[in-house]
Structure 1
């Protein structure tokens, strides 16, 4: 393990951590990526891009401590229970373990990536309330910290079962209802900038999004890119009735908790241009969109851990 690294990035082989690690590296900063398996394709890709690897497991506090040695700034993100790998209790335990280790090792700045519905009161969904608990814990510690709350990823819309292969698209919002979304490249870039300017962002909670879209916006954009009509509908009522997880997410969107409250104009003034849905579809989202158009899986991939 390279002991000259400046930033330690958790979740580096995942979507968020990978985006942050690459954004930091693009700025010429030294990155240490926390990985479980150094022989995995994703870990080898990080190493090939010039990042050092810290091998460990979030269930092993000693490996977290070892990875933390000599680090100035930490990006902390954990897998949530909907992925089926951890419980909500385990997510909280891992988030606290990273924060405690950062304090023990005198890390200057801890950036915790939470969620858009977190920190606004109980939601009735464990994987949101777990993030609220981690937020409160981080803020209670004697360490300079920042919390970011990203909106739903644009990439999430390309999961199987949303209907694109059948020339339709189903999602949470009603046709005229707005929901904020974020492109991973924006998420990575903004979090990297925060890590590189800890004094400026210390103590702040920042809601993150790239754009606000309605179901009709999705219909127009997807139709243009697909070259054929893509009809938008909300998840049908019978599916929501059968799936309490999706139903509660839809309820949170209707209540405004999941709709997003990021100030897009302020974010653009602070961090520069934000990626629109159309730009994302024309760029990094194009391969994902094309794959989704040809994916005939019928089952919605969004689910809770009990159904994983």
Structure 2
């Protein structure tokens, strides 16, 4: 294909988003270069087996990024989430990583930078540091002399099947209200959208695109999970006592209540633009089927959030 001699560097390719982007780019005929800490690791080796070039690099090592970005057409930028328990990344680390990637991409002559942010980003602070840091990175990217696109994914469908959500006990507990819709997106579709953005730079240059594939209330989620699994699933919002006890979780729930985290993407327009977008039903019957089966076998504690 025409893009086969042009390379897109993908950060986080051994993770969910980056892995989906790498796969989608390869499917569209792009050459893909993944920056990985350990090229000999199992996930990096799997990327290599799929035709992805892997190079050693680290977000904390600018020289390794300069080498990785050499002669690249594009860079997909996603950083470890400072709000994720156990990530070992502070909010300032994430800001430094995100801005350093953008600055090096500009200095190395990269033609197109795609940054993956969050649905909660925007000009008004949320008061939740690990979300607001993404707004700060967005602002920095927009102020650089480089063609860029920001995508803001809704909550991942995959989160709903993680241990700790209660599916192994026949229930789902999450932040959305039983009778109010919240938007979700399949990780696979984040990759396909990113590939489409790289494929049409003139169309997406300078744009910020909020992306989602479906919108469902808690009760609708339970109904679809019941139908897909063939076993009864009930829904309840996370208990008030938990939200009061866990400050970060409580503040996140408040952002759902005020609409900041529910998502406001125009789903009809997105489906017209990206016909491949998966509804929750289609995700459960496809990429999510194995995750759903695993969820019923995997007891867990705690709440896993994006």
TM-score range, shorter chain: over 0.9
Q: Counterparts of 1:213-228 in structure 2 under 5 Å?
A: 213-228=216-231
Partner of 1:272: 275
* 2:207 counterpart of 1:204: yes
Within the candidate set 274, 286, 289, 1:286 is matched to 289
The Cα RMSD (Å) is 1.2
The corresponding residue for 1:19 is 20
Report the CA distance between 1:151 and its aligned residue.
Answer: 0.4
**1:114-263 correspondence to structure 2 within 5 Å:** 114-263=117-266
- SS of structure 2 residue aligned to 1:78: coil
In the alignment, the residues of structure 2 paired with residue 257 and residue 299 of structure 1 have an alpha-carbon distance, to the nearest angstrom, of: 23
Q: Aligned pairs, how many?
A: 300
Helix, strand or coil at the partner of 1:81: coil
TM-score, length basis structure 2: 0.96
1:153·1:181 contact (CA, 8 Å) conserved in 2? yes
> Residues 91 and 130 of structure 2 are in contact (CA less than 8 Å); yes or no, is this contact kept in structure 1?
yes
Deviation at 1:216, TM superposition (A): 0.8
For 1:111 and 1:291, how far apart are their aligned partners in 2?
32
Indicate conservation of the 8 Å contact 2:154/2:263, yes or no. Answer: yes
2:260 and 2:20 map into 1 onto residues whose CA distance is 25
State the Cα distance separating 1:270 from its structure 2 match: 1.2
How far apart are residue 289 of structure 1 and its match? 0.8
**What's the secondary structure of 1:111's corresponding residue?**
strand
Which residue of structure 2 lines up, in the alignment, with residue 306 of structure 1?
A: none
Aligned to 2:81: 80
Please say if residues 13 and 35 of structure 2, whose CA atoms lie closer than 8 Å, have aligned partners that are also in contact. Answer: yes
Structure 1 residue 245, shift from structure 2 partner:
1.6
State the SS of the aligned residue for 1:91: helix
Residue deviations 1:266-293, cap 9 Å, x none? 1111121320111111111011111111
How far has the Cα of 1:164 moved from its partner?
0.7
Alpha-carbon deviations, 1:51-83, whole Å to 9, x = none? 111211000000010101000111111011122
Q: Name 2:33's counterpart in structure 1.
A: 32
Q: TM-score when scaled to structure 1?
A: 0.95
Structure 2 gap segments, 5+ residues each: none
Please say which of residues 217-226 and 64-73 is displaced more in the overlay: 217-226
